[in-house]
Chains A and B, each alone.
Chain A
Amino acid sequence: MSGGGPPRKRNFKIEAFKHRVELDPKYAERTWKVLEHAITNLKQRRLQHNASGLSFEELYRSAYNMVLHKYGEKLYDGLQNTMTWRLKEISKLIEAAQGGLFLEELNAKWMDHNKALQMIRDILMYMDRTYVPTSHRTPVHELGLNLWRDHIIHSPMIHSRLLDTLLDLIHRERMGEVINRGLMRSITKMLMDLGPAVYQDDFEKPFLEVSASFYSGESQGYIECCDCGNYLKKAERRLNEEMERVSHYLDAGSEAKITSVVEKEMIANHMHRLVHMENSGLVNMLIDDKYEDLGRMYALFRRVPDGLSTLRDVMTSYLRETGKQLVTDPERLKDPVEFVQCLLNEKDKHDKIINVAFGNDKTFQNALNSSFEYFINLNNRSPEFISLYVDDKLRKGLKGATEEDVEVILDKVMMLFRYLQEKDVFEKYYKQHLAKRLLSGKTVSDDTERSMIVKLKTECGYQFTSKLEGMFTDMKTSQDTMQDFYAKKADELGDGPTLDVHILTTGSWPTQPSPPCNLPPEILTVCEKFRAYYLGTHSGRRLTWQTNMGTADIKATFGKGQKHELNVSTYQMCVLMLFNSADGLTYKEIEQATEIPASDLKRCLQSLACVKGKNVLRKEPMSKDISEDDTFYFNDKFTSKLVKVKIGTVVAQKESEPEKQETRQRVEEDRKPQIEAAIVRIMKSRRVLDHNSIVSEVTKQLQARFLPNPVVIKKRIESLIEREFLERDKVDRKLYRYLA
């Protein structure tokens, strides 16, 4: 014992105290007895509270004196022994507790211990501050906890019983029983107070192991008998239960660990089986728009590694498969408008799923976009059909719709347009369809037309729409020109037929040069007057009549004197005018008189003679088709409820196969100069480049409009070499040089 050691070199004051101590050699022993008595009583404070009759001040002073007089070690060792002895007693009491009372007893004793420990530390505070740091002992509070850990928690009779009790209670709660959560909370908090290592080693680790095997078994059972939606509901509930359990009576640090156990056992281990579950897996949820189930699936799969990528892959392959079926289904191809509407519906459906159930996840949006891009381009008629859809909407479909509705529809179309690889093909068709709308005056609203153009412009740039805009300018100028013509030449024209000319700039419009037919003399006069007027005001221009594109309103009187106004094409007008001077004409006679190209003539005769309710001509023999031996007569018996009869031309809205080929060919032709221009641009800046780099650069430059074929690029390069824009390198044949 250090107090009894030989006197060391000390300062004066201490010697004075020592002198006093020597007066009473039993001082330390006596003081310790007092303190020991007090400590023992504190530990049993329920039995007799503070029965020593000593105040805190007295106890504190006693402990102070012991430390001051170098009896710190005796004090500390005494404390340790007393506490150890006392805890051994307590452990016996806890061990003796029966069944369910075990935890209660343990908790009650722990509370007592804590309280007593606090008061012991109060008494020994001075020792804690001075003796403990200098002699490297454990502070009183920590010592009390360590002793509790060693003699209670790690006592062989308590250790496994405690763990089993805790795990059993948790298991019972999982099975739906109500347990005393407050008690659980106190016990886990006790383990944490004893140090995170105690909590982890003596509770958390076995808890996680038991949980893993529990959920492994449960998930196996569920997956055999539940459909995917129900399984996910159960998994979600379990996950929430575990999080709730942590918040109620486990340490917060356990949350990530236990949720990862549940995620692994219930989701990750069954991920593929769940996604592909028959009749209820991901694909079925997508088909049936099960937003709630899909949202749950997304939320749960997001928690496990590779969860979302699995979902995404399955969704992508499903989209590609159904999309492919949709765009290659011959039934669908019959009606282009329906076809595009179908695509839009499909897009809307999945947009909504991603929005509602997948929290607008960018990666899923990208997967959706790439799937659409993939299958829309599987069908090379998609550009045409999309243009037709727009045509349909701008022609009549949008009547009565508000401007916002129109905008919404156009925006959706633009979305599809973005997926197109052959944007130039779309442009081609759009131009044709727009021309038809403008010339026939069928367009619903100028504003919506322009709005569509603006959208295309922002998407593809000025070049893409310059010609389309030119068409609008032509329409406006023509209107002004006609007004001016009639204002200036009114007196000259008299009562002749009214002429309305659209002056179309060559190149802006999709016109095919076709020889003009023979116009009736009445019309021809006006036409000539207009030509004279126009060329008189604009020098250096040429006018060519496009008789294949015009329309005419003519008045006709039929057998019983009833008058009708007939709305017909220019060709039809020419044919009908012939019947002013003859009642019957053969096909040959008509062809000779009008010089209308045969295919157009047949179509125009068909619509005049073979359409029920609009048959102003009678054909002999009666049949559906026009043959060169037919004879036509003015149909005296024609009747109609309408004053104004509109005689349409029988014209296929969708392109026929040969027309399609032709358009394709023209597109290919148009691409050639674009590819050449790109090659020259690239070579001008690079001077020397190898073949593969040129191909990839050209593709990069042009992919906003179309995907150029490498074979075509190679041909263009060869053509440019022939024309001496480029030359092959003399050494490396794969290199090309730019010739300025």
Chain B
Amino acid sequence: MACGGRVRFNVGGQVFETTTTTLANAGRDSMLGALLDSSWNLPSSSSPPPPPPQGGGVPEYFIDRNPSCFAVLLDLLRTGSLHVPPHLPEKLLYREALYYGLLDHVRAARWGAFDGDRLRLAASVPGRAPGDGTAIRAAPDGGCCVAHGGAVHVYNWMLDERRPVSLDHSQVNDAAYLDASTLLVAARERRHHHRGGADGDGGDGGGGMAAFSAVSGELLHRFRVAHAKQAKPFTAGALAFDGGGASVFASCKGRLNEHGVGVWDRATGEQADFFYEPPGCALGDADKLQWLDGASALMVASLFPRSDNCFIGLLDFRAKAVAWSWSDATAAASALGDDKRVLHAVAMEDGRSVCVINQYDDLGFLDLRKGGGTGGGVRWCSRSKLMSRKVLLPGEESCYPRLATHGGQLFSSMNDSVSVFSGPEFVLTSTLRRSHGGAICDFSIGGDRLFALHNEENVFDVWETPPPPII
């Protein structure tokens, strides 16, 4: 292009001048990339475009759009960082970015890479749903979904609410993003709904598990469970995927004690396997499933209050066996007065141990390389004394604590705050707390964001790492 690659734009009457190098940052898959592409600028005798050289041979293009947004986006292409003037509404900017095909650029510059110790509250989104929230899940692109009652509310990364998703309005137990645009929902089977139909037609319209488009809310696929080659209705509990992305797992409860963990092929959606619950291992009631890449095994945790005793096991699907298990069945029954009850569990990222938490917010560790057994084995770190705990007022609601890991850090929610633990010894390094909203009933990390769902009025907080400082 002429003149050292300079380009002139007339956007809504305002003239901008820039270079092709800057515009190349937009990529060929953007409107600006296509506009400058040689196939649209072939020398031709008859036509007005390519734009007539004006003012010293610099080509000029007219674009019928908002100039102030174009200024911000051009600045983004020049510097890679996003600076939105205070008077410019974000939604307006997003709309213009979508026009130019630069929305992904805006999202990438909007917040920084996740760092548990540098999180800032970015937004508080009030919910409108009645009743308590069940779960919140982060999407890989920075959006999220909130499950409560029979519906899942879906938000994109701009925190605009999309069409809510529901599986026959059955009570939702868990939700999970297969990818940014596909959402899995696990729901309770609705028996009364199933009038007159034979068992064989597999719980149509009665809960279970299904995949939805996170964009349009459409039902994409309903997952089935067959026992003895007959499709049966079931209640799906917790969800998980394996590391290679080939399988989907869910804890399942059928009507006739068909309890266990179902496995589906991710590509076809067909049932691939079913791990029936062996005696003493409450797999069908599991609250949490987690795939361990290193061990090629699925961690299953059944926890109070859904089951009376905590059971944690590793399932090896190739050997069809429980490779490791631990339970507090005997400890609870023993007269030792050890009333520490495991309320949540998460496998650590190195795959060597499982972190658990009790009602006193003590963290404990189970070594996966040693035998599990019952009762003992938990290495408790009594950190509750070190914590500045908010003293609950009588009558104030509390929630069960939750655990998560991300990037070598450990996160736990208790009451109205999320604690961040770092380093090999998991030292408390940050606490995220907001003054109102009540206790945190669930939180989730994904798409470089942390979402915390509060018990009161389903308000959820979005925590982000700010973009890196200028110097």
| CB within 8 Å for A49 and B42 given contacts A55-B48, A57-B62, A57-B64 | yes
Whether A61 lies near B64 (C-beta < 8 A) is yes
Q: B residues within 8 A CB of A4? A: none
**Which chain A residue lies CB-closest to B49?**
A55
Which among A53, A115, A119, A134 is the interface contact of B47 at CB below 8 angstroms? A53
Is B24 close to A, CB under 8 A? no
A118 to B47 alpha-carbon distance, docked (Å):
20
Which among B37, B48, B99 is the interface contact of A126 at CB below 8 angstroms? B99
A130 to B35 alpha-carbon distance, docked (Å):
19
Is B88 close to A, CB under 8 A? no
Whether A119 lies near B216 (C-beta < 8 A) is no
Whether A133 lies near B101 (C-beta < 8 A) is no
A120 to B203 alpha-carbon distance, docked (Å):
45
Whether B216 lies near A136 (C-beta < 8 A) is yes
Is B34 close to A, CB under 8 A? yes
| A 46-66 contacts with B by CB, 8 A | 48-51, 53, 55-57, 60-61, 64
Interface string of A104-139 (1 = CB under 8 A from B): 000000000001001100100110011001111000
Whether B98 lies near A129 (C-beta < 8 A) is yes
A55 to B47 alpha-carbon distance, docked (Å):
9
Q: A residues within 8 A CB of B47? A: 49-51, 53
Interface string of B191-226 (1 = CB under 8 A from A): 000000000000000000000010110100000000
Q: A residues within 8 A CB of B35? A: 56-57, 60
| CB within 8 Å for A125 and B29 given contacts A50-B47, A56-B49, A136-B213 | yes
**Which chain A residue lies CB-closest to B162?**
A134
| B 360-388 contacts with A by CB, 8 A | none
A551 to B49 alpha-carbon distance, docked (Å):
119
Question: Per DSSP, are chain B's interface residues mostly helix, strand or loop, or mixed?
Answer: loop
Is B155 close to A, CB under 8 A? no
Q: B residues within 8 A CB of A126? A: 31, 98-99, 101
A53 to B39 alpha-carbon distance, docked (Å):
15
Distance between B91 CB and nearest chain A CB, rounded to angstroms: 9
Which among B29, B40, B215 is the interface contact of A56 at CB below 8 angstroms? B40
Is B61 close to A, CB under 8 A? yes
Distance between B411 CB and nearest chain A CB, rounded to angstroms: 32
**Which chain B residue lies CB-closest to A60?**
B31
Whether B99 lies near A64 (C-beta < 8 A) is yes
Distance between B215 CB and nearest chain A CB, rounded to angstroms: 5
Interface centre among A48, A60, A133, A136 (most CB of B within 10 A): A60
Q: B residues within 8 A CB of A115? A: 39
Interface string of B56-71 (1 = CB under 8 A from A): 0000011110000000
In this complex, how many residues of chain A approach chain B with their Cβ under 8 Å: the count is 23
Is B51 close to A, CB under 8 A? yes
Distance between A123 CB and nearest chain B CB, rounded to angstroms: 8
Question: Per DSSP, are chain A's interface residues mostly helix, strand or loop, or mixed?
Answer: helix
Is B44 close to A, CB under 8 A? yes
**Which chain A residue lies CB-closest to B46?**
A51
Which among A48, A55, A125 is the interface contact of B31 at CB below 8 angstroms? A125
Distance between A476 CB and nearest chain B CB, rounded to angstroms: 64
| CB within 8 Å for A118 and B98 given contacts A49-B44, A133-B215 | no
Distance between A12 CB and nearest chain B CB, rounded to angstroms: 12
| CB within 8 Å for A122 and B37 given contacts A130-B98, A136-B216 | yes
A57 to B64 alpha-carbon distance, docked (Å):
8
Q: A residues within 8 A CB of B46? A: 48-49, 51
Whether A119 lies near B39 (C-beta < 8 A) is yes
**Which chain A residue lies CB-closest to B220?**
A136
Q: B residues within 8 A CB of A119? A: 39-40
**Which chain B residue lies CB-closest to A119?**
B39
Q: A residues within 8 A CB of B34? A: 56, 60, 122, 125
Whether B101 lies near A125 (C-beta < 8 A) is yes
Distance between A39 CB and nearest chain B CB, rounded to angstroms: 14
Is B181 close to A, CB under 8 A? yes
Interface string of A160-197 (1 = CB under 8 A from B): 00000000000000000000000000000000000000
Q: Which 8 A-B pairs have the closest CB atoms?
A: A122-B34, A55-B49, A56-B40, A134-B216, A50-B47, A49-B44, A134-B215, A56-B35
Residues of B at under 8 Å CB distance from A? Answer: 29-31, 34-35, 37, 39-40, 42, 44, 46-49, 51, 61-64, 98-99, 101, 103, 181, 213, 215-216, 218
23 contacts between A and B (CB under 8 A): A50-B42, A50-B47, A51-B47, A53-B47, A53-B48, A55-B61, A55-B62, A56-B34, A56-B40, A57-B62, A60-B35, A61-B64, A115-B39, A118-B39, A119-B40, A122-B34, A122-B39, A125-B30, A129-B98, A129-B101, A134-B215, A135-B216, A136-B213
Q: A129-B101, A130-B98, A133-B181 are in contact. List 19 more A-B contacts (CB 8 A).
A: A50-B44, A50-B47, A53-B47, A55-B51, A56-B34, A56-B35, A57-B62, A61-B64, A119-B39, A119-B40, A122-B34, A122-B37, A125-B30, A126-B31, A126-B99, A126-B101, A135-B216, A136-B216, A136-B218
